[in-house]
């Protein structure tokens, strides 16, 4: 996937952008159009990268003492085990998408069989895990979740006219004047041609996520024990958490289920490249 820079909203406005490696080796890009001075603008951008790093400390499976690793290491069953607000929210969302996708996205994808039935979240921000050896991994939606958190803060700042956040295959755009942003979707069959694209979308205050069979760690479970149905899926939605979780899960879904989900969850568009290289757009 590629992206084009947002254009300044006014003559006085300037674009400020920065890239940084996050989550180990993922390139993050934050860009804002603002009337603020340079130092103030970069302070806002840096706050976004700080938020990403904070979430990494909670959810990374590569950081030994991350909260998710500590939860997975503890002896189970457990009841009313205290977890952070961030982890509680992520697990709640992961449960929702596991149910909505009929298990194609799975909070417990690292296990041979789903263990969703053994997990219960409590109102006091604690968790019950009622079976031993249960492993939780909500990382398939963490990029989308943290992008939405950062974008929410940017929208609250009236000095920011427009913004764009890109994190791996996820992009969110915001424009206070409701001007559209053009995004071109990567063609995995481009044979090295960087100017080859599958499809072009115009987004206004929306998000797009692209997942493909070329990615590491799909965070999905093949509930039918078959190969991926599709080479690549892009989802355009109102929130990045929605597009991120579903783009990943839809790689395994039959087209009918994708169409049904698109309608039920009110997605703007879904772009599918099947294993037979058929381009289908819902």
Per-residue pLDDT tens digits for 257-269 = 999 999 999 999 9
pTM confidence score: 0.90
Helix (H) or strand (E) holding 163: strand 160-167
Question: What is the pLDDT confidence band of residue 215, given thresholds at 50, 70 and 90?
Answer: low
Number of domains in the chain: 1
pLDDT of res. 282: 96
- pLDDT score recorded for residue 4: 44
Q: Do the domain assignments include residue 91?
A: yes
Task: Quick: pLDDT tens for 117-130.
Answer: 999 999 999 999 99
Q: Is 194 within the bounds of a domain?
A: no
Domain membership flag for residue 276: no
Residue 120 lies in a domain: yes
Q: Does residue 79 sit within a domain?
A: yes
- The residues pairing with 9 across neighbouring beta strands, listed in sequence order, are none
Q: Does residue 107 lie in a domain region?
A: yes
Is residue 38 within a helix (H) or strand (E), and if so which, with residue range?
A: helix 38-59
Region 214-226: mean pLDDT is 51
N-terminal to C-terminal alpha carbon distance within the chain: 19
- Is residue 72 a part of any domain in this protein? yes
User: Residue 26 falls within a domain, yes or no?
Assistant: no
Q: Which domain holds residue 88?
A: 67-139
């Amino acid at each position: 996937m590629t992206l084009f820079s947002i254009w300044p909203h006014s003559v006085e406005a300037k674009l400020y952008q920065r890239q940084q490696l996050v989550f180990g080796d993922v390139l993050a890009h934050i860009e804002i159009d603002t009337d603020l001075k340079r130092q103030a603008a970069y302070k806002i951008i840096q706050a976004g990268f700080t938020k990403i790093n904070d979430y990494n400390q909670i959810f990374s499976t590569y950081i030994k003492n991350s909260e998710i690793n500590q939860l997975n290491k503890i002896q189970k069953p457990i009841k009313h085990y205290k977890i952070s607000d961030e982890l509680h929210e992520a697990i709640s969302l992961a449960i929702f998408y596991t149910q909505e996708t009929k298990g194609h996205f799975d909070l417990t994808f690292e296990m041979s069989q789903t263990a969703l039935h053994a997990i219960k979240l409590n109102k006091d921000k604690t968790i019950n895990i009622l079976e031993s050896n249960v492993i939780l991994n909500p990382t398939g939606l963490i990029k989308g979740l943290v992008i939405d958190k950062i974008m929410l803060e940017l929208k609250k700042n009236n000095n920011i006219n427009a913004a764009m956040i890109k994190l791996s295959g996820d992009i969110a755009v915001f424009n206070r004047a409701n001007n559209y942003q053009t995004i071109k979707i990567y063609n995995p069959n481009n044979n090295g041609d960087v100017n080859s694209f599958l499809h072009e979308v115009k987004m206004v205050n929306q998000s797009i996520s692209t997942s493909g069979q070329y990615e590491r760690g799909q965070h999905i479970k093949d509930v039918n024990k078959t190969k991926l149905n599709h080479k690549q899926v892009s989802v355009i939605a109102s929130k990045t958490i929605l597009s991120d979780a579903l783009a990943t899960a839809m790689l395994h879904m039959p087209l009918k289920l994708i169409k049904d989900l698109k309608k039920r969850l009110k997605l703007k568009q879904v772009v599918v490249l099947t294993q037979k290289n058929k381009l289908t757009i819902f």
